[in-house]
Amino acid sequence: QNVDSLHERAGSRYVVPLHGRGNVNRCMQCGATSDRNEYQDLLQDVNEDWLINVKEMEQQTKKNDESESDMRPDGDAQISGEADYNAVCVPNCPICKTGIL
């Protein structure tokens, strides 16, 4: 799997992304693409208060049961506590202003 463009960076010229690309987002409305890292930064910026709240819940959970969060190799994490995912803001596509990335 070449979801991070490592093959191209290593010099391969004929790579078919059968599983998509993990480093590029594509708008589901207009098809515009953007860098995943830039989008991740935007998500963190627009959800700063939510992230602070989750981190506070995580700290409280660690104090209560001495456990660590479950960080996975793919970068996902098991978040402790009762995080309100309905409060997460998902920014619209910067091109068409209506689609989601």
Active site residues: 19
Euclidean distance between CA atoms 36 and 92, whole angstroms? 14
Euclidean distance between CA atoms 33 and 101, whole angstroms? 8
Euclidean distance between CA atoms 19 and 55, whole angstroms? 32
Euclidean distance between CA atoms 57 and 43, whole angstroms? 19
What H or E segment, with its residue span, contains residue 88?
none
Euclidean distance between CA atoms 81 and 86, whole angstroms? 15
Amino acid 64 reads N
